[in-house]
A and B are shown apart, each in its own frame.
Chain A
Amino acid sequence: MIAGISIYEILTLSSILFFIGIYGFFTRENLITVLMSVELILNASAVNFVLINTYLYPDLIQGAVFSIFIVALAAAETALAIAIIINLYKLISSVEVKDTETMKY
């Protein structure tokens, strides 16, 4: 718990971060930058898990464990997505969203 900071201020911060990620997800047209917006969204939710655990249930640690799982899943997802993007670049020489029309060659 942070002295002098209420839970509302921190939840406001993580909500703003989440919706900045949503905005990027909507507006970006390059697959790598879309993936970066997804990272922002995942991070905002991980922060929420930790903060609600600290402020509401300080004697439990489940929130921290879930946050660790989110980090592991985000790393796995990023590695696989970047592999797919590089393969896609080999196939069609572009990583723009509008050029990726077919799923399988």
Chain B
Amino acid sequence: METIIFYILAAVIILFAVASVTTRKILRAVIYLLFVLIGIAGLYFLIDYNFLAAVQLTVYGGGIIVLFIFAVLLIHHVELELEKTALKKKLIAGALSAAGLAVTLWTISTYPFPVTDTYTSLEVADIGRILLSYEEGGFILPFEVISVLLVAVMIGAIVVAKGKRLSEDGSPKTEDGSKKLTENN
């Protein structure tokens, strides 16, 4: 049963990932990315990492995808089609990716992984304990650094996205507009 579910999830992930990087409608690409992320959350559920799956669904499915949709709707028309990539570029990128994939798969298939047969389920309490542990192997320092980083990113995103004012007539600023603005200041 789990084998079948795994293969269904794998097919969903790969199909939608390919669709996400090849489709020319940008909003559809975002939605395909959402399906990929949900498929990966399903993978986490399958290996019993429920907390991680919940984090994946809330942060990626709930947060990042909404950010992407906001950005797309602010910047593009919904029906806008992306420019066609040149065939030569596609071929070169495809060949490079395929070569990298071949090397990686060959390395993986020849490496003898010492797989253990024991199985312990992961408790959320254990994750909380190791994140806040001061002892050896604890993650209190990276945890605090991440919180400082998140504050820095919040402030930085507000400052950057606010940007400078538009030029007088309200039109988006061009090279000339920015010059005019600095002169006025």
Q: Measuring CB to CB, which residues of chain A are less than 8 angstroms from any residue of chain B?
A: 1-13, 15-24, 26-30, 32-33, 35-37, 39-40, 43, 46-47, 50-51, 54-59, 61-62, 64-65, 67-69, 71-76, 78-80, 82-87, 89-93, 95-96, 105
Contacts and interface: CB of A to CB of B under 8 A. Distances in A.
A65 B13 CA distance: 23
Judged by DSSP, the binding face of A is helix
A90 B113 contact: no
Nearest to A34: B21
Contacts of A74: 59-60, 64
Interface in B1-46: 2-3, 6, 10, 13-14, 17-18, 20-21, 26, 29-30, 33, 36-37, 40, 43-44, 46
Given A32-B26, A32-B71, A78-B67, A71 B82 contact: no
Contacts of B78: none
B85 A27 contact: yes
Judged by DSSP, the binding face of B is helix
B97 A19 contact: yes
Contacts, number: 228
Interface of B: 2-3, 6, 10, 13-14, 17-18, 20-21, 26, 29-30, 33, 36-37, 40, 43-44, 46-47, 49, 51-52, 55-56, 59-60, 63-64, 67-68, 70-72, 74-75, 82-83, 85, 89-90, 92-94, 96-98, 100-101, 104-105, 108-109, 113-116, 118-120, 122, 126-127, 130-131, 137, 139, 142, 146, 149-150, 153-154, 156-158, 160-161, 163-164, 166, 172-174, 178
A85 to B, nearest CB: 6
